[in-house]
């Protein structure tokens, strides 16, 4: 494997079970533990200055648009995906899903500090069969089980889409919506019991809830309502640049050159309006009990003007990866530290949908085995009005190759 790193170090020694309250705490911890930052102590950057002069899609689809770059996906793009799926004929269509468990079945630790896996429990099952007052069996003898989540369920705690209003800088979200819309109240006629933060000590309290707050604009319902389908490609940078396990080093920053070189090595064309998935090997590291894993010290994309302009010129509607933030969490650019600058450049300015915490293990192995890195990508996030993100289980239909074709 080629040995070179693009280091934008961040985060180390974090208690994965700890709860950090607020992005400010996350940023402070990431910056303070960055070797480059600790030595030089650069100032926090200004995204307005960094991204000034770079392209935006504000107003491109009207002043009231909330779908962003998903507007690029039409009939032609869905057709291109269908063609990719059936290119090997009717006997060679494989199906993959990309979602990690939402209840932490594979590991009890959260992938990101504070966003712990949810827990569900049965509210009705065979234990209630014949019990006085039980609703089972029903007339005629039908029995059933039912369940509900019994802990907080973080919408971005597993494989998910970011809503376009999830992250911003200054006072405006994507397409110019004011930041005040992120705290839009909804009042319900009947209160239900739910969980609220306690006294600032990280605890939660059970309390009647009749008012909630959410995104009043650019929430996840735009993506949920339209859905996503098109030609997807996997850029397996982990296998191209990583170790024998196909994992990038923790301090690796993925550049535009890395993406293009990986596509060239895989012999896959990147076309306009493709849905681009990037494999780093982070999920394997997170699920490996013998490996050192830190959500703020993952490999990921790093900012450059060239990368942002390339995404814009290629009209990429969706980009996703198998890590927590798509990009390196803390990045030192020209001696100045920034936290997730590509969220500002891509999500806020270009209106691109970001997919995070994808499980690319099975898909990556299949692509490496048969050399086919294009497929039909389909997905839709959970429809949660006001949501800053939505869990999703993308379904991939990929053409394989016969044994004769692989020789």
Q: What is the pLDDT of residue 405?
A: 61
Q: Which of 214, 229, 262 is the last residue of a domain?
A: 214
Judge whether 14 lies within some domain.
Answer: no
Are 186 and 267 within one domain?
Answer: no
pLDDT-based confidence at residue 403 (cuts at 50, 70, 90): low
User: 19 falls in which pLDDT band (50, 70, 90)?
Assistant: very low
pTM reported for the whole predicted model: 0.89
If asked whether residues 267 and 388 sit together in one domain, one would say: yes
Residue at which a domain ends, from 96, 129, 149: 149
Asked if residue 322 is part of any domain, the answer here is: yes
pLDDT tens-digit series, residues 310-356: 999 999 999 999 999 999 999 999 999 999 999 999 999 999 999 99
Give residue 401's pLDDT: 74
Asked if residue 297 lies in contact with residue 331, where contact means CB atoms within 8 angstroms, the answer is no
d(CA 334, CA 341): 13
pLDDT in the model for residue 113: 66
- Within a domain: 17: no
Residues 196 and 243 in one domain: no
In this structure, are 169 and 186 located in the same domain?
Answer: no
Q: Note the pLDDT of residue 197.
A: 83
Confidence (pLDDT) at 103? 86
Whether residue 238 is found in the same domain as residue 210:
no
State the pLDDT at residue 38. Answer: 46
Cα first-last separation, the chain: 23
**Tokens 């198998």 — which residue?**
322
- Asked if pLDDT for residue 369 goes beyond 90, the answer is yes
Please tell me the distance from the alpha carbon of residue 38 to that of residue 332, in angstroms, as a whole number.
Answer: 11
Q: 113-143: b or e for each residue (b if 16 or more CB lie within 10 Å)?
A: bbbbbbeeeeebeeebeeeeeeebeeeeeee
**How many domains does the structure of the chain reveal?**
3
Q: Which residue has the tokens 């196909």?
A: 246
Is residue 10 situated within a structural domain? no
Give the mean pLDDT of 266-286: 96
Please determine, for residue 94, whether its predicted confidence score (pLDDT) is greater than 90: yes
The CATH number of whichever domain residue 42 belongs to comes to 3.50.30.50
Reply yes or no on whether the pLDDT at 10 is more than 90. no
* Mean pLDDT, rounded, for 123-133: 94
Q: Where are the alpha helices (DSSP H) in 156-267?
A: 221-226, 237-241, 256-266
Q: Is position 159 within any domain? A: yes
Pairing of strands 228-235, 275-278: parallel
Is residue 7 situated within a structural domain? no
Considering the domain architecture, whether residues 166 and 29 belong to the same structural domain is answered as yes
What's the pLDDT score for residue 264?
A: 98
Q: State whether 383 and 240 are in the same domain.
A: yes
pLDDT for residue 291 is more than 60 = yes
> Worst-scoring range by mean pLDDT, 8-17, 260-269, 335-344, 396-405?
8-17
| pLDDT of 11 strictly over 50 | no
Peptide bond into 137 cis (omega under 30): yes
Q: Round the CA-based radius of gyration of the chain to a whole number and report it.
A: 22
Q: Which domain holds residue 138?
A: 120-149
229 pLDDT band, cuts 50/70/90, is very high
pLDDT given at position 380:
98
Extract the runs of DSSP E, i.e. beta strands, from 46-145. Answer: 93-97, 120-124
37 pLDDT higher than 90: no
* Res. 30 pLDDT band, cuts 50 70 90: low
Over the stretch 139-198, which tens digit does the pLDDT of each residue have? Answer: 999 999 999 999 889 999 899 999 999 999 999 999 999 999 999 999 999 999 998 887
Closest to 333 in 3D by CA, of 43, 48, 54, 5: 43
Residue 234 has pLDDT above 80, yes or no: yes
What are the tens digits of pLDDT across the range 206-221?
A: 999 999 999 999 999 9
Q: What are phi and psi of 158, to 5 degrees?
A: -145, -165
> Which residues are within 8 A (CB) of 215 and not within 5 positions of it... i.e. 6 or more apart?
163, 165, 166, 181, 182, 184, 386, 387, 388
Q: What percent of the chain has pLDDT over 70?
A: 86
Contact 153, 333 (CB under 8 A): no
- Whether 381 and 368 share a structural domain: yes
| Structure confidence at residue 29 (pLDDT) | 45
What percentage of the chain has pLDDT greater than the value 90? Answer: 74
Q: Is residue 368 part of a domain?
A: yes
User: 403 or 306: which carries more pLDDT confidence?
Assistant: 306
Contact 77, 70 (CB under 8 A): no
The answer on 380 and 235 residing in a single domain is yes
Residues 244 and 358 grouped into a single domain? yes
Mean pLDDT of the chain, nearest integer: 88
Q: How confident is the model at residue 294 (pLDDT cuts 50, 70, 90)?
A: confident
Instruction: Say how far apart CA 100 and CA 104 lie, in whole Å.
Output: 8
Verify that 198 and 319 share a domain, yes or no. no
Please indicate, yes or no, if residue 188 is contained in any of the structural domains: yes
Between the CA of residue 254 and those of 35, 266, 360, 362, what are the distances in Å? 19, 17, 17, 22
Residues 162 and 190 both lie in one domain: no
Mean pLDDT to the nearest integer, 105-112: 60
- Confidence (pLDDT) at 400: 87
* Packing angle of the helix pair 305-313, 256-266 (nearest 10 deg): 50
């Amino acid at each position: 494997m080629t040995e070179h790193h693009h280091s934008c170090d961040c985060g180390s020694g974090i208690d994965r079970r700890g709860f950090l309250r607020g992005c400010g705490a996350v940023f402070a911890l990431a910056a303070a533990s960055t070797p480059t930052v600790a030595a030089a102590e650069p100032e926090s950057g200004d995204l307005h200055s960094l991204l000034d002069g770079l392209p935006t899609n504000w107003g491109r689809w009207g002043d009231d648009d909330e779908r962003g770059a998903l507007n690029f996906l039409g009939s032609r793009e869905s057709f291109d995906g269908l063609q990719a799926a059936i290119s090997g004929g009717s006997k060679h269509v494989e199906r993959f899903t990309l979602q990690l468990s939402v209840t932490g079945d594979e590991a009890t630790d959260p992938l990101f500090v504070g966003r712990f896996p949810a827990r569900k429990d049965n509210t009705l099952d065979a234990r209630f069969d014949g019990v006085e007052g039980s609703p089972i069996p029903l007339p005629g003898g039908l029995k059933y089980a039912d369940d509900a989540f019994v802990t907080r369920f973080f919408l971005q705690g597993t494989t998910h889409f970011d809503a376009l209003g999830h992250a911003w800088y200054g006072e405006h979200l994507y397409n110019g919506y004011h930041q005040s819309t992120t705290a839009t109240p909804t009042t319900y006629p009947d209160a239900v019991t739910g969980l609220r933060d306690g006294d600032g000590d990280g605890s939660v309290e059970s309390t009647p809830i009749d008012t909630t707050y959410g995104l009043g604009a650019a929430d996840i319902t735009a993506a949920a309502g339209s859905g996503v389908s098109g030609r997807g490609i996997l850029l397996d940078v982990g296998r191209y640049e990583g170790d024998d396990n196909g994992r990038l080093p923790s301090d690796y920053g993925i550049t535009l050159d890395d993406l293009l070189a990986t596509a060239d090595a895989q012999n896959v064309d990147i076309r306009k309006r493709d849905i681009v998935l990037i494999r780093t090997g982070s999920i394997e590291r997170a699920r490996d009990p013998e490996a050192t894993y830190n959500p703020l010290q993952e490999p990921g994309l790093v900012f450059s003007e060239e990368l942002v302009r390339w995404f814009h010129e290629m009209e990429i509607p969706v980009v996703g990866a198998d890590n927590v933030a798509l990009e390196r969490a803390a990045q030192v650019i020209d001696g100045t530290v920034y936290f997730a600058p590509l969220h500002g450049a891509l999500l806020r300015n270009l209106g691109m949908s970001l997919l995070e915490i994808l499980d690319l293990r099975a898909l990556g192995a299949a692509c490496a085995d048969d050399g086919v890195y294009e497929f039909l990508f389909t997905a839709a996030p959970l429809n949660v009005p006001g949501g800053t993100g939505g869990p999703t289980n993308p379904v991939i239909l990929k053409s394989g190759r016969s044994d004769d074709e692989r020789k």
